[in-house]
Homo-oligomer: A and B are copies of this chain.
């Protein structure tokens, strides 16, 4: 064996200086603006996507859909001044369930629009695919192009992937929220999954574990709430429309920040 120096980095590609990896080393710091739409899907469709030991929630079919406009960075990567490496947008659905009697959520489907966010998600068990996500913004000026944060202001979100529209939602602000959204509140439990390619092992993944996300430094800005709409559209490579709303609850706009550098494995699947 040679005495070559070790390759460095957190994800592939490892490299001599450790700068080439697709995902910088944790911690990862996030700040964003979320549209949260609380809704209920067909309870059987929700039960069908609960992984492993997660049981249906007593409020059958409880879900939330989120459109999020994110900025993120690591401690040393310089992403904030090269913002193509820090900004991305995201759409995801969480379903509510019970794990050992505790209320939890799980994310069956999620799309982001940048590769670093895609891979960072896989490492946390978010089953991310690439998509095109857009979310209405406010800039704090009172003008026709800015909905503002006021009663009657309406924010929209859209998702497409592989050149098909897959989701649309709106939130119409009515009041500053007291408690904020609850459908996305329980701790999220995802499946970390990494398949094998060896012949005969295609159904024996190398990694298949239920994990509980851990975050810290969470902070929330002023939350507005109001009425909401949500439509989910299927396609040849997407099944999230099975989770289409049978009833839509309240919508929220939530400024949100947090930091991630940990994860807890709950069980092998």
Contacts of A246 in B (CB 8 A): none
Contacts of A50 in B (CB 8 A): 4
Cβ-defined contact, B14 with A191, below 8 A: yes
Annotate A65-85 by CB proximity to B: 1 below 8 A, 0 otherwise.
Answer: 000000111010110111111
Q: Please, how many residues of chain A have a CB less than 8 angstroms from a CB on the other chain?
A: 120
- A 9-26 contacts with B by CB, 8 A: 10-17, 19-20, 22-23, 25-26
Bound together, the chains give a CA A17 to CA B143 distance in angstroms of 28
In the complex, residue of chain B having the shortest beta-carbon distance to the beta carbon of A27: B144
Instruction: Identify which of B47, B146, B193 contacts A12 (C-beta below 8 A).
Output: B193
Instruction: Identify which of B108, B144, B192, B202 contacts A25 (C-beta below 8 A).
Output: B202
> A14-B193, A219-B141 in contact; A81/B136 too (CB < 8 A)?
yes
Contacts of A260 in B (CB 8 A): 197
Contacts of A23 in B (CB 8 A): 195
Give 18 pairs: A residue, B residue, CB < 8 Å, sorted on A.
A12-B122, A13-B108, A13-B109, A19-B238, A26-B197, A77-B237, A82-B158, A82-B236, A83-B135, A83-B158, A84-B134, A84-B158, A85-B237, A87-B134, A115-B129, A118-B118, A163-B165, A198-B265
**Which residues of A line the B interface, CB within 8 A?**
1-2, 4-5, 7, 10-17, 19-20, 22-23, 25-26, 29-33, 45, 47-51, 53, 55-56, 71-73, 75, 77-78, 80-87, 108-110, 114-115, 118, 122-124, 127-130, 132, 134-137, 139-147, 154-160, 162-165, 168, 170, 191-199, 202, 206-207, 214, 217, 219, 221, 236-240, 242, 255-265
